[in-house]
Amino acid sequence: MTAAAALAAALALAGCSDSGSAAGSGKAELSVSGPYMPQPVSADMAAGFLTITNKGGAEDELTSVTSEVAGQVTMHSTMGGAMRQKSSFAVPAHGQLVFKSGGNHLMFEKLRRKPKQGQTVTVKITFAKSGPLTVEMPVKSATYNPSTGH
Ligand code: CU
């Protein structure tokens, strides 16, 4: 009788905490900040950078990037100076996925036009669970540094 009561209490507690986490922060809440594209020097390829912040309690995964300006957008990581194409990037719960100069970056290939400083490029980024987000990515100078702002 005592053991059964204790078990029932334990099950009730487990059930309670499960529904609590599902109702609370059980999914990813994504936002994008600081997107920019340095004006490309090449006529057929450009780079892009942005930060994806996840305020939610579940991880998500960036699975594809497309843009009106490029025939193809690929995702790269940089390890020890060498870049490697990746098919997805994890966005950790309560964390960030950062694309920045010298690190992870987007590569816009087969450019349909050459983006110029002052223009904006529309980029669609798609996540495994949260679906697509549309980002307006401003084109900055070829040597733009986000930490100094010019
Ligand atoms: Cu690359």
All structural domains of the chain with their residue ranges: 26-140
Smallest CA-to-CA distance from 124 within 112, 142, 111, 106 is with 106
108 Cα–ligand 1 center, Å? 9
Res 21 pLDDT > 50: no
Which residues, 6+ apart, have CB-to-CB distance to 136 below 8 Å?
35, 120, 121, 122, 123
37 CB-contact burial (10 Å; exposed 0-12 / middle 13-18 / buried 19+): buried
22 Cα–ligand 1 center, Å? 38
Residues with CB under 5 A from ligand 1 (ion): 76, 83, 107
Res 4 pLDDT > 70: no
CA–CA dist 97, 95 (Å, integer): 7
77 sits in which H/E element: strand 70-79
pLDDT value for 82: 92
Beta-carbon count within 10 A of 13 CB: 10
132 Cα–ligand 1 center, Å? 22
56 Cα–ligand 1 center, Å? 29
- The least confident of 24-33, 67-76, 80-89, 120-129 is 24-33
**64 in Cβ contact with 87 (< 8 Å):** no
Which residues, 6+ apart, have CB-to-CB distance to 147 below 8 Å?
none
Instruction: Provide the pLDDT confidence category of residue 112 given band limits of 50, 70 and 90.
Output: very high
Res 13 pLDDT > 60: no
84 Cα–ligand 1 center, Å? 7
**Rounded mean pLDDT of the chain?**
89
27 Cα–ligand 1 center, Å? 30
140 Cα–ligand 1 center, Å? 18
pLDDT value for 79: 87
40 Cα–ligand 1 center, Å? 13
Instruction: Provide the pLDDT confidence category of residue 10 given band limits of 50, 70 and 90.
Output: low
pLDDT value for 40: 97
Strand partners, 62: 89, 127
65 Cα–ligand 1 center, Å? 14
CA–CA dist 129, 115 (Å, integer): 31
- What is the tens place of the pLDDT at every residue in 28-54? 999 999 999 999 999 899 999 999 999
pLDDT value for 6: 64
Choices 1.20.58.220, 2.60.40.1890, 2.60.40.10, 2.30.40.10: CATH for 26-140: 2.60.40.1890
